[in-house]
Amino acid sequence: MQKRQFWVRFRRNRLAMTGLVMVGIMFVISLAAPWLAPYDPNQIELKEVLLPPSAKHPLGTDPLGRDVLSRIIYGSQVSLKVGFVSVGLATLIGLVVGALAGFYGGWVDYLLMRLVDLMLCFPSFFLILAVIAVLEPSIWNIMVVIGLTSWMGVARLVRAEFLSLREREFVVAARALGASDWRLMFVHLLPNALAPVMVSATLGVAGAILTESALSFLGLGVQPPTPSWGNILTAGKDNLEIAWWLSFFPGLAILLTVMSYNFLGEGIREAVDPRLKD
Amino acid sequence: MWPFICKRLLMMVPMLVGITLVSFVVIHLAPGTPVELQTTMNPKASLEAQKRLRELYGLDKPLAVQYWEWLTRVARLDFGFSFSPDRRPVWDKIKERLGVTISLNLLSMLIILVVAIPLGVLSACWPQSAFDRAVTVLVFFGFAMPTFWLALLLIMFFGVYLEWLPVSGLTSLNFAHFTFWQKIQDLAAHVTLPVLVAAFGGLAGMSRYMRGSMLENIRQDYIITARAKGLSESTVIFKHALRNALLPVITILGLSVPGLIGGSVIFESIFAIPGMGQLFFGAVMARDYPLVMGELVIGAVLTLMGNLLADVSYALVDPRIRAG
């Protein structure tokens, strides 16, 4: 019943549907990259360096003569991977920390919440950069680091939800039936906390994509020749005066992708709780 | 008021210890010790010299002892010496750049406040109007815009195409020869784009927040009372609703501090501004661990102080907090 209500509201919400369609298109583009990209993204053509957009290269070429459109199409794979893996990790940590804190309360709650406060004290970009300085910059390290520095919001959400639910009858009943703590937390309580977590995870994907592209832009993210939107922009920055297309198109790709996840997240939020829509 | 401030200050102590502990752990994730890093580059470093270096850094002691020794030094603002060729103390390097980063971030906060509050208030006064919708679109752009891309676009337009504004550094080369007013003008021109870029993301969040806070307050009973008394609409909005709606803004400003400080890495390296962010970026690239660790600690301490400031000013304007 509840699920059906959600879908009815979700489908009626223009923002949510726009987001869903846009996210769907992004998925198709990154999965079908080998068929969609007109060229090999790493094909160096030294006779076609820094060409402006034309019929042959719709979005121009980069300083090594590689086709920018193809690199942007393949770059979407990086964004998708980083977005989902790092948010998956963050959500998992946040769920466990929040569930433990909200379920047990007392000193467990106190300690875990101080840990959350502590993590929130670091400018997260500083923390991420410091870890990257220590480890090698690579796509796996980035995913792990973004995940490890962005779980605090989810933890707080889950904790608040658990605190408000743990004394309710259905939990007491399940406990009386002899359910273990573990079962109470993850079978009985967790499903009730999933809606806000879903919203925060969707918005988190957008955030992770922005962070990855910023890191790659600074040269501390995905390393060339693997194309990512951020590292195409690095080449754009070095050729700002002569090749606008190198800076313009990859940035536009980031903007549109991040926006579509934000639309989807806001849409889910409104569908879950219609009161939020003024 | 003073008991409240003292309580908050005391609560900062365990946080500070936590911050140093996390920073210490992060740096010790590093494969290899600073000694190896310094000596592998240098074939002349004998085993004897390596051993001496290790003793110098205290790396032959257990980790807990190392942390304690480091902590007592950090308490005296002694972060050790940078690995870079100049070998200067880390704190000296950070100190000379703190001012730039803090002033730029304060400036962008000011812009966020001056622009976002009217935007939020006006769109809350006429929800679903054309203006409100336009602001909403702007907000979605603000949330999704990668700041470094915005920086590149602004550089291309104002710096390269129109040639109106300088795009790198804080001052022109011949700054020393300028008169006072020319200096002010030169600084302002250099600072415009970086501050705009730094403020843009925060603008979206703040105006969204202001709108929500305003809408919430307009629905309250005391607003109905104010209107029923026959007060003019502008008095109701600006005197009654706005004052109360502004309260949580203080908290949001405090919360935005880590984002602003983190963001300075990006805009300072794009615009070649000699601040903490640029220093940090350089330190990361050069794997200058003492400097990275110092920056991490200082960045977190700045955040902590931002939060303290927000709490204290909230307590100043809202007596309920002081009691609680």
Residue type, B21: L
Q: Which of B30, B149, B265 sits opposite A254 (nearest CB)?
A: B149
Rounded-to-10 torsion of CA B274, B275, B276, B279: -10
Instruction: Provide ipTM, 2 decimals.
Output: 0.87
Who contacts A146 (Cβ-Cβ below 8 Å, separation ≥6)? A82, A86, A90, A128, A208, A211, A212
CA dist B136 → A203, A261, B192, B236, B301 (Å)? 17, 16, 25, 24, 34
Using only C-alpha atoms, chain A has a radius of gyration, in whole angstroms, of 22
C-alpha dihedral sign at A27, A33, A36, A39: positive
Band the pLDDT of A278: cuts 50, 70, 90: very low
CB neighbourhood size of A139 (10 A): 18
Instruction: Indicate yes or no: CB of A130 within 8 angstroms of CB of B269.
Output: no
User: Which candidate, B268, B69, B308, B86, places its Cα nearest to that of A129?
Assistant: B268
- Contact list in A for residue B283 (CB cut-off 8 A) is 133
Q: What is the DSSP annotation of B67-134? A: HHHHHHHHHTT---B-SSTT--BHHHHHHHHHHHHHHHHHHHHHHHHHHHHHHHHHHHHSTTSHHHHH
Q: Which of B19, B29, B140 sits opposite A121 (nearest CB)?
A: B19
Instruction: Indicate yes or no: CB of A130 within 8 angstroms of CB of B19.
Output: no
DSSP code for B226: H
**How does pLDDT run along chain B (324 residues), one tens digit per residue?**
788 888 888 888 888 888 888 888 887 776 655 555 555 555 556 677 667 666 666 666 777 888 888 888 888 888 888 877 788 888 989 999 999 999 999 999 999 999 999 999 999 888 888 999 899 888 888 899 999 999 999 998 888 888 888 877 888 877 788 888 888 888 888 888 999 999 987 888 899 889 988 888 888 888 888 888 888 888 888 888 888 888 888 888 888 888 888 889 998 999 999 999 999 999 888 888 888 889 999 998 888 888 888 888 888 887 777 765
Q: Which residue has the tokens 């879903």?
A: A198
Is A86's pLDDT higher than 90? yes
Instruction: Indicate yes or no: CB of A262 within 8 angstroms of CB of B143.
Output: yes
Q: A44-48, A75-79, A251-255: which range is least confident on average?
A: A44-48
Helix (H, G, I), strand (E, B) or coil at A67: strand
The predicted model scores a pTM of: 0.88
- Rounded to whole angstroms, the Cα distance separating B290 from B29 reads 14
Instruction: Indicate yes or no: CB of B284 within 8 angstroms of CB of A133.
Output: yes
d(CA B127, nearest CA chain A) in Å: 8
Rounded to 5 degrees, φ, ψ at B109 are -60, -45
- Contact list in B for residue A237 (CB cut-off 8 A) is 152, 270
Express each pLDDT in B111-130 by its tens digit.
Answer: 999 999 999 999 988 888 89
- Contact list in A for residue B258 (CB cut-off 8 A) is 120-124
Nearest residue in B to A210, CA atom: B146
Question: Which pLDDT value is given to residue A115?
Answer: 92
